[in-house]
Amino acid sequence: MTDLAVASHGLTKRFGSQVAVNAVDLAVPRGAVYGFLGPNGSGKTTTIRMLLGLIAPTAGSHHLLGETMPDRAGHVLPRVGALVEGPGFHPYLSGRDNLRRLDAADRTATARTAEARIGDALDRVGLTAAAGKRYRTFSLGMKQRLAIAAALLKPRELLVLDEPTNGLDPQGTREVRTLVGALAAEGATVLLSTHLLAEVEQVCTHVGVMHRGTLVAQEPLADLRSDAAPRARVLTDQPAEAAQVLRTLGLTELAETASEASGQLGAVAPEKVVSDLVHAGVAVRGFTVEAPSLEDVFVHLTGRGFDVSG
């Protein structure tokens, strides 16, 4: 249990007759950057809210940092930084004063080090220059970064970030990714929810995929990639004949267009495909073997695409 920063067993949440989260068994190894991926409405936020004790599960149990939740003794949550719904920022206070206010309200924070910690947190999210401006003048991206800074006011063993790049421009998105990487390099475990594949591909070591309240896959990113079977693609003016050769060789999931035939290779060697095509007299203009993108893998798992536009 101790090698997992987050572990849940049968975690379930019903809202009336709707099952928003259905028997989810999460396993987030310590030190991982775990991408909690799923389309909008698949149950990510509800799961995260249960993990943090913001709502009670209908069924199931979980541990954070090796401790059983809920955290009645208050030992665990101070070691967990969370970005779920923006903390209650005051619109007329500056970014820096908002952090001062939050830190002062935290009984586990040391007042003596507050200024240094606040300065450091603002610096980490790139808000030092803007920290004197009133919160209500902040862009959505600045608000999001201030919320992350609030989660970084103390050293954290576990960071739980719900859609941390929501509302950020490309530059802000890159900064948050770099920040997540730096936090992980310092030893923190990061659980971040997202509906963006690019986010997972660029920063995560592990992935959990939610679909309609169910965790449909959970693996190291590298394993998820290698689960994906490569496809052979033949460019030709004789796609029907080419597809016949692929079928005979045992390729699966065949597809044909006016100018190409393709199929999943499975155990068939690409060289064998090429030589059989030539023997069958198919005029081949091009031949490629493509590993499917992560998007293909996710579409396969969830039966639908992701909103990649952000």
Binding site for ligand ATP (CB under 6 A): 15, 20, 38, 40-46, 195
Min dist. Cβ of residue 102 to ligand ATP (A): 23
Q: Which residue has the tokens 């955290």?
A: 71
Tokens of 158: 């576990």
Please say which residue, 33 or 84, places its beta carbon nearer to ligand ATP.
84
Query: CA-CA distance, 258 to 261, in Å (whole number)?
Result: 8
Min dist. Cβ of residue 149 to ligand ATP (A): 22
Among residues 279, 285, 226, the alpha carbon closest in space to that of 260 is found at 285
Are 63 and 4 in contact by the 8 Å Cβ rule? The answer is yes
Are 206 and 221 in contact by the 8 Å Cβ rule? The answer is yes
Please say which residue, 40 or 288, places its beta carbon nearer to ligand ATP.
40
Min dist. Cβ of residue 26 to ligand ATP (A): 14
Please say which residue, 38 or 141, places its beta carbon nearer to ligand ATP.
38
Are 67 and 80 in contact by the 8 Å Cβ rule? The answer is no
Min dist. Cβ of residue 160 to ligand ATP (A): 13
Please say which residue, 84 or 224, places its beta carbon nearer to ligand ATP.
84
Please say which residue, 40 or 293, places its beta carbon nearer to ligand ATP.
40
Are 44 and 191 in contact by the 8 Å Cβ rule? The answer is no
Query: CA-CA distance, 34 to 191, in Å (whole number)?
Result: 5
Are 120 and 177 in contact by the 8 Å Cβ rule? The answer is no
Tokens of 174: 């890159």
Please say which residue, 40 or 248, places its beta carbon nearer to ligand ATP.
40
Query: CA-CA distance, 17 to 254, in Å (whole number)?
Result: 41
Please say which residue, 20 or 160, places its beta carbon nearer to ligand ATP.
20
Please say which residue, 7 or 210, places its beta carbon nearer to ligand ATP.
210
What is the number of alpha carbons within 13 Å of residue 151 lying toward its C-beta?
28
Min dist. Cβ of residue 118 to ligand ATP (A): 29
Q: What secondary structure letter does DSSP report for 280?
A: T
Min dist. Cβ of residue 42 to ligand ATP (A): 4
Single-letter residue type at 7: A
Min dist. Cβ of residue 195 to ligand ATP (A): 6
Are 91 and 142 in contact by the 8 Å Cβ rule? The answer is no
Min dist. Cβ of residue 36 to ligand ATP (A): 9
Q: What secondary structure letter does DSSP report for 262?
A: E
How does strand 158-162 pair with strand 189-194? Answer: parallel
What is the number of alpha carbons within 13 Å of residue 110 lying toward its C-beta?
6
